[in-house]
Amino acid sequence: MYTVAIIGAGFISTRKHLPAWLRLRRRVKVVAVCDLDRTRAEAVSRQFGIPAAYDDVNQMLARERPDFVDVCTPPSTHADIAVAALKAGSNALIEKPMATTVQECERIIEAERASKGRVEVAHTELFHPQVIEARKRIERGDVGRLTGMRIFYSTPVTLWTTDPGHFANRLPGGSIGETGPHVVYLSQAFIGPIREVRVRGRKILPEYPWSPFEDYRLELMGDRVSSSIVLTYTSKHSAFLLELWGAEGIMKVDMQSKMLVNYHRVNQSPWGIGLSAVSEAAQIASGAFANGFEYLAGRFRNIHDRTVSEFFKRSVNGLPPAVTSQDGLETVRVMSAISEQLQSQAEPMDSPLPQRPEQRERP
Ligand SMILES: NC(=O)c1ccc[n+]([C@@H]2O[C@H](COP(=O)([O-])OP(=O)(O)OC[C@H]3O[C@@H](n4cnc5c(N)ncnc54)[C@H](O)[C@@H]3O)[C@@H](O)[C@H]2O)c1
């Protein structure tokens, strides 16, 4: 039987990672939970039936010597914890982002090279079956050569924008530091290495002065193709939509309702447009039915389940990680360029357009 220790007993650990590890109970035992907040660690250990609770990572590593460590703490702590885990001989799954700077990622990679353990970064959105399917279809040439992509991501304002104490409001560049890694690694998965970044942040909600921006427009330029992204933290609604297009077709993925819709509209007559709309509606209806059936049949597995079980299986079978430490570093490199640009934006709009002649004040 293998052993795993969970570090961090907050949101993602209790909602997703711990349940995912417990589903693997036939092969791996959760032996400890560790959180700086001892009361929280003890409460989570009682709630999930985990034998030991700690408030000190090094003490936990020395006593438990776990085969696996799952790092579910805020990004600024990832490097120290992952390096300590690797030095103790554990394999480390690290929640995204791998760390907050490229230097921290390099420190983790050095420790990984010097150890017998491995690192995987939880780039969870890559484990969506629809993302996997979209990647397959692009490789197969279903939309022709990929010529562009777009992402719209709305995080409900109540998740942390309203909370002055949440770590996301203190990340470099603000909230984008928390959800931005998802859109960066998704873009990298489709368009390859990012060569250039343009970002514009806007402060929309003055009632939350601790949040630097709540609206981000992001352009990521790959070698051949670009990804355009809108990240908003202003609505009570959540949305995560991805569009990919090539000469032969367009694919639309709703990451939350788990739908992949093929969009074909080469014929622009009313009939052509009508038929393409009917085809989209039919794909949505059949997708909703299939997803509903999977859920009711108890076969639904969320992306964190998939991330944790892939990490575990690949590690014990000696297969390469699905997301390597180098992939994690590349995402952090782009995130660092984004936050640098945002930090240099002193004014919300630094180059206003000249006024039209009729708007100018008359003498
Ligand atoms: N993949 C996803 O969809 C997803 C979603 C949410 C969060 N995350 C990531 O998960 C990580 C944690 O986020 P969260 O929302 O669960 O945060 P959280 O604030 O809810 O929980 C973090 C916990 O870590 C503890 N902690 C902080 N420093 C520690 C240390 N040095 N040692 C031990 N415990 C420590 C805190 O006391 C807290 O209980 C972040 O990297 C975040 O970006 C990923």
pLDDT of 358 reads 63
- Computed over every residue of the chain, the mean pLDDT equals 94
Q: How far is the CA of 342 from the centre of ligand 1 (A)?
A: 24
Encode pLDDT of 280-296 as tens digits.
999 999 999 999 998 89
pLDDT of 157 reads 96
Q: What angle do CA 221, 226, 227 make, to 5 degrees?
A: 105
Cβ(328) – ligand 1 distance below 6 Å: no
Ligand 1 atom at minimum distance from 37 CA: 37
Say what the pTM is: 0.92
Cβ(77) – ligand 1 distance below 6 Å: yes
Listed as own residue / partner, the contacts of 39-45 with beta carbons closer than 8 Å and 24 or more positions apart are 40/9, 40/10, 41/9, 43/9, 44/9, 44/13, 44/14, 44/18
Chain-centroid distance, C-alpha 183: 7
Indicate the pairing of strand 226-232 with strand 215-221. antiparallel
**For ligand 1, mutation pick of 12, 78, 170 (most atoms within 8 Å of CB):** 12
Q: How far apart are CA 85 and CA 82, in angstroms?
A: 5
Tokens read off for 283: 């794909």
Tokens read off for 159: 């998740």
Class of domain 2-122: alpha beta
Cβ(37) – ligand 1 distance below 6 Å: yes
Encode pLDDT of 185-238 as tens digits.
999 999 999 999 999 999 999 999 999 999 999 999 999 999 999 999 999 999
Cβ(7) – ligand 1 distance below 6 Å: yes
Cβ(17) – ligand 1 distance below 6 Å: no
Q: How far apart are CA 135 and CA 179, in angstroms?
A: 21
Contact 108, 119 (CB under 8 A): yes
pLDDT of 89 reads 96
Q: How far apart are CA 57 and CA 34, in angstroms?
A: 6
Q: How far apart are CA 321 and CA 121, in angstroms?
A: 9
Tokens read off for 5: 């220790």
Listed as own residue / partner, the contacts of 291-298 with beta carbons closer than 8 Å and 24 or more positions apart are 291/257, 291/258, 291/259
Whether a cis peptide bond, with omega within 30° of 0, leads into 97 is: yes
Tokens read off for 109: 């990679």
pLDDT of 114 reads 97
Helices (H), the chain: 11-12, 18-22, 38-48, 57-64, 78-87, 102-113, 129-140, 176-191, 270-296, 303-316, 325-343
**Residues with pLDDT less than 70, the chain:** 346-363
Cβ(129) – ligand 1 distance below 6 Å: no
Tokens read off for 239: 């949305």
Terminal CA-CA length for the chain = 85
* Residue 183, φ and ψ in degrees, nearest 5: -75, -25
Domains of the chain, residue spans:
2-122, 127-263
**For ligand 1, mutation pick of 17, 18, 34, 35 (most atoms within 8 Å of CB):** 35
Cβ(332) – ligand 1 distance below 6 Å: no
Q: Which CATH number fits domain 127-263: 3.40.50.970, 3.90.1720.10, 3.30.360.10, 3.60.70.12?
A: 3.30.360.10
Handedness of CA 145, 148, 151, 152 (dihedral sign): negative
